Structure 1
Amino acid sequence: MTSDLTNADATELAEWIRNGKASAVEVIEAHLSRIAALNEKLNAIVTTNDSALEAAKAADQAVRDKTALGPLHGVPFTGKDSIDTASVPTQRGSPIFRGRIPSVDAASVARMKAAGAILLAKTNIPEFSYSTESENLLSGRTNNPWNLERTPGGSSGGESAAIAAGLSPIGLGTDLAISVRGPAAQTGIVSLKATHGRVPMTGIWPREPRRFWHVGPMARSVRDLKLALSVLTGPDGKDSLSSRVPVLETAPPQKQLRVGWLVRPGFGPIQPQVGDTVEAGVRALEQAGCVVQQVTIPALERDPPLDVFLKLHVNEMKPVFEQTTRGQPDEHIGPIARFMLDTPETSIEDCVQAEQAAQRLSDAFAEFFQEYDALLCPVLPLPAHEHRLTSVKVEGEDIDGIKIMAATVPFNVTGLPAISLPFGLSDEGLPIGLQIVGAWNAEATILDLALKLESQSPIQGMRPKI
């Protein structure tokens, strides 16, 4: 039964707890045992919640008392270590914040708890949550459960590794340019970056640059993403951006969906096995009754989104690094912070041009979504790579490591919703993901498409043999 409890998704666990097939205490204990057995290899979990078992006992008593139960009652969840958790350390991947214990939950954490979920643990991140790999001076490096010599991604790499390895059924990550979708693709789980502002960022650090940051669920099943999104959305009265998004539509569209698909050009070099996986997704959607057409989006080449992103965000982000590291001993400042501190600020002229380019990109996608309901494309140009990537050869071209964000960052610049889900294995047996992108506020559409793809995924239910 223990293996069932650590393999089930959050939706199933909630059903088992409600109907008495399993107790919340049994579920929490199973996951704590899994953490004890595997975390030394993975280093995905950085802090466990000492109150989790007590919360589970209270959850079981509520079931016995026939109290009204939330949709995630008794289900454990984890959170990235940049997301505030009351009375549980949130150390932001840096010795600068060693031992920091918030007094208030982030809005997203509070909403998970209000739905009955129990905080189990916090997961590893890069320094200041600011890299495509999850390693820092405070808590070390996280390894991918599919291959310990590979990264689980970043910045939500601890979260992705924990969920993939059965240390947690569901969790919260954040996404500045890649950070829930890339790690999900690298570890064979699912994740959702909803429309910008859909989920409040209150209680998550750093807030700058607010125009790009998102918080979103990471899980083992698309239905879990859908459930979590229903719990997490809506304004909180503190994050003004969360007040600008319409009420979440949860009903799937009642029409034949039109999907455009794109591998190249537009996202830079892509390994052939990744392109093949996207084409397998095309065939699956056609079999599901969708109209699927290959497309080009010239704006991606005219205004490369990664260049736009880098120019726009540095002037907002660099002062945060400067203020945070000021007066700190050298041994507390890692290579990520030092890189940002050494990065030149963007000139006013370049910022203005980048702002205009970002608007042109949004205009291009507005036009695209007049004809199509969704875009199917890669998440990453390659499967999980070795630790400490500086450059990688893709299609015979050496590309800088930062360019693995080329297919994810466009949807942070524009704020469009996007899902990452596994749909194949590389020739080395590593997961390969697909990305489904929708129009603004069209989460119901891309969740519907993700369910269609999930039902046909050749690796659905496959777990790493760690």
Structure 2
Amino acid sequence: MGKMIVKSDITYFDATKLASLIRNRELSSVEVVKAHLDRIEAVNPKINAIVTLNAEGALAAADQADKAIARGDKTGPLHGVPFTVKDALDTAGILTQRGSRFFAGNVPTQDASTVARLKSAGGIILAKTNLPEFSTWTESDNLLTGRTNNPWNLDRTPGGSSGGESAAIAAGMSPLGIGSDVAISVRGPAAFTGIAALKATHGRIPYSGHFPTVTSQWWHVGPMARTVRDVALAYSLLKGPDGADGYAVHAKTAIADTARISGQTIRVGWVSDAAFGPVDPEITAAVKAAATQLAALGCDVEEVTLPFVGDPLSPLMMMVYAELGPEIRKLAKGREHDLHAVGQGIYDSQDPSFTDFNAALRKAEALRSAFSAWFDQYDVLLCPVTPMTATPHGAQELVVNGQTVSWLHVMSATSAFNLTGLPALSVPFALSSERLPISVQLVSRWLNEDVILQLGALLERRGGLGDTWPSL
């Protein structure tokens, strides 16, 4: 007889293992969903990551999943496994309020493409997760569903904009989720909470069914999970054209023309302060330790500087705000009092001149060209995800490695890859002296997600993080 599975194990098994246990009838889908519902009831009041619960629908779907197994039906790779969804993505028949009073009570009639794909693979929507208003801040807080706390330390933020998703997964309330990223928003929250997240090549995963729609040139939808193998599984299900998103044009099987041949030595360049400083010394040490581990695994590893990176956040923010500002002003006209401070900041923003907007576009193109040349010499960039560990709620200034910086500095090591559309993976790796997780970021050339997923699986949690999870 096999080892008895206890409820606390269920909520920290990853989605891949849960799918196997359900498929082999070692666990029922109903047991798995009930365990997660119980976990949500126990810890969500402290964290406020889950904002809409689909308990009845999830249990009904789980019952049907178990009946399908009993009949011997063909099943998908996520058959009977619950998952959560950032509340910026549409879910048919389930509240999608987008962190804003302007969408209170909104119930879509159609699933976002990514939600539909996980459901088609057998996944079951368990809940929707918290976010900042319109998904446009690095803290997951809004006037409708409140603030999300970091399960590692409730006085810290889990980040944004997919902070509710990352906190739910880290706290064992969900094994797998869908988030989105315009400058940091799946990778930063993943780093702050010790999980994995992928921002794939822009257009690799359809954006259809996500709000805001007007900034789709910069937004990426991506998978979030406790393990890299779950992120890889979800990515394999989410990628490919959907016939709706004009940027989602890459074939599901597409790889870069310059993709490395299997068996060749992977060339890795690593950098921390030299490109994204100031960076907390413990994070730089983690990046260096990851570089050492990759070298030991047979990669050709070299420290680099990336002098061409500059300040990618400024042109990115200018263009995102220029596209989003008119939309928010139209939406909120006459109801400005219902805006959160984040939304109000967008509402009050000044549209840039054509000259300034064009200059920002030219900076983006120059950065793409520079990275294109760089990736002719290297296969992977290894760097920090965030320059610091999870920050206190509402912090406007931070001291990092002895220097005082704006809260915007949190995006200094991630925004370049939204501006260029390069794929980037957040990998949980180490534990800080404050017992907060530290992650490293792996970046590859466009369409080469497989190589960073491969390396991420070799590095995850092996820099001292181990099996440590938040104690709640």
Counterparts of 1:138-149 in structure 2 under 5 Å? 138-149=144-155
Correspondent of 1:46 among 48, 51, 57: 51
Q: Point out the more displaced range, 261-270 or 15-24.
A: 261-270
Which residue identity is paired with 2:335?
Q
Counterparts of 1:17-32 in structure 2 under 5 Å? 17-32=22-37
What's the offset of the Cα at 1:39? 0.6
Which residue identity is paired with 1:320?
E
Q: Look up the match of 1:322.
A: 329
Aligned residue for 1:7, secondary structure, equals: coil
Q: Look up the match of 2:11.
A: 6
Tell me, yes or no, if the aligned pair for 2:428 and 2:461 is still in contact at 8 Å: no
Tell me, yes or no, if the aligned pair for 2:62 and 2:80 is still in contact at 8 Å: yes
Tell me, yes or no, if the aligned pair for 1:253 and 1:445 is still in contact at 8 Å: no
Which residue identity is paired with 1:366?
S
Q: Look up the match of 1:338.
A: 344
What's the offset of the Cα at 1:210? 1.4
Which residue identity is paired with 2:11?
T
Which residue identity is paired with 2:269?
G
Q: Whole-Å Cα distance in 1 between the matches of residues 225 and 116 of structure 2? A: 18
Inter-CA distance 212–329: structure 2 relative to 1 (3 Å threshold)? closer
What's the offset of the Cα at 1:410? 0.2
Structure 2 residue 219 is the aligned partner of structure 1 residue 210: no
Q: Whole-Å Cα distance in 1 between the matches of residues 396 and 333 of structure 2? A: 27
Which residue identity is paired with 1:51?
G
Q: Look up the match of 2:367.
A: 361
Structure 2 residue 423 is the aligned partner of structure 1 residue 417: yes
Correspondent of 1:308 among 307, 310, 315: 315
Tell me, yes or no, if the aligned pair for 1:85 and 1:106 is still in contact at 8 Å: yes
Encode CA deviations 1:374-397: one digit per residue, 9 max, x unaligned: 000000010001001211011222
Correspondent of 1:290 among 287, 294, 299: 299
Which residue identity is paired with 1:463?
W
Tell me, yes or no, if the aligned pair for 2:429 and 2:461 is still in contact at 8 Å: no
Q: Whole-Å Cα distance in 1 between the matches of residues 195 and 147 of structure 2? A: 20
Encode CA deviations 1:99-155: one digit per residue, 9 max, x unaligned: 110000000000000000000000000111110000000011000000000000000
Counterparts of 1:144-293 in structure 2 under 5 Å? 144-244=150-250, 247-248=253-254, 253-293=262-302
Tell me, yes or no, if the aligned pair for 1:383 and 1:432 is still in contact at 8 Å: yes
Tell me, yes or no, if the aligned pair for 2:429 and 2:465 is still in contact at 8 Å: yes
Aligned residue for 2:427, secondary structure, equals: strand
Q: Whole-Å Cα distance in 2 between the matches of residues 455 and 384 of structure 1? A: 17
Tell me, yes or no, if the aligned pair for 1:190 and 1:421 is still in contact at 8 Å: yes
Q: Whole-Å Cα distance in 1 between the matches of residues 76 and 85 of structure 2? A: 19
Tell me, yes or no, if the aligned pair for 1:252 and 1:445 is still in contact at 8 Å: no
Tell me, yes or no, if the aligned pair for 1:246 and 1:441 is still in contact at 8 Å: no
Unaligned runs of 5+ in 2: 1-5
Q: Whole-Å Cα distance in 1 between the matches of residues 249 and 443 of structure 2? A: 22
- C-alpha RMSD of matched pairs (Å): 1.4
Q: Look up the match of 2:407.
A: 401
Tell me, yes or no, if the aligned pair for 2:87 and 2:131 is still in contact at 8 Å: yes
What's the offset of the Cα at 1:344? 1.9
Aligned residue for 1:225, secondary structure, equals: helix
What's the offset of the Cα at 1:350? 1.3
Tell me, yes or no, if the aligned pair for 1:115 and 1:231 is still in contact at 8 Å: yes
Q: Whole-Å Cα distance in 2 between the matches of residues 460 and 84 of structure 1? A: 35
Q: Look up the match of 2:39.
A: 34
Correspondent of 2:129 among 123, 129, 132: 123
What's the offset of the Cα at 1:256? 1.3
Aligned residue for 1:300, secondary structure, equals: coil
Tell me, yes or no, if the aligned pair for 2:279 and 2:388 is still in contact at 8 Å: yes
Encode CA deviations 1:433-466: one digit per residue, 9 max, x unaligned: 1000010000011111101112734213321111
Q: Whole-Å Cα distance in 1 between the matches of residues 189 and 320 of structure 2? A: 22
Inter-CA distance 359–411: structure 2 relative to 1 (3 Å threshold)? same
Aligned residue for 1:243, secondary structure, equals: coil
Q: Whole-Å Cα distance in 2 between the matches of residues 98 and 314 of structure 1? A: 23
Q: Whole-Å Cα distance in 2 between the matches of residues 399 and 295 of structure 1? A: 24
Q: Whole-Å Cα distance in 1 between the matches of residues 400 and 368 of structure 2? A: 28
Which residue identity is paired with 1:322?
R
Q: Whole-Å Cα distance in 2 between the matches of residues 459 and 424 of structure 1? A: 4
Structure 2 residue 90 is the aligned partner of structure 1 residue 81: no
Aligned residue for 1:421, secondary structure, equals: strand
Tell me, yes or no, if the aligned pair for 2:89 and 2:210 is still in contact at 8 Å: yes
Aligned residue for 1:299, secondary structure, equals: coil
Q: Whole-Å Cα distance in 1 between the matches of residues 128 and 261 of structure 2? A: 33
Which residue identity is paired with 1:283?
T
Inter-CA distance 448–205: structure 2 relative to 1 (3 Å threshold)? same
Encode CA deviations 1:239-278: one digit per residue, 9 max, x unaligned: 0110146634599943210100011222131111111110
Which residue identity is paired with 1:17?
I
Q: Whole-Å Cα distance in 1 between the matches of residues 456 and 331 of structure 2? A: 40
Q: Whole-Å Cα distance in 2 between the matches of residues 251 and 233 of structure 1? A: 21
Which residue identity is paired with 2:125?
L
Q: Whole-Å Cα distance in 2 between the matches of residues 101 and 418 of structure 1? A: 32
Structure 2 residue 440 is the aligned partner of structure 1 residue 434: yes
- TM-score by length of structure 2 reads 0.96
Unaligned runs of 5+ in 1: none
What's the offset of the Cα at 1:357? 1.1
Encode CA deviations 1:167-209: one digit per residue, 9 max, x unaligned: 0000000001000000000000000000000010110000222
Aligned residue for 2:149, secondary structure, equals: coil
In the comparison of the two structures, how many residue pairs are matched? 463
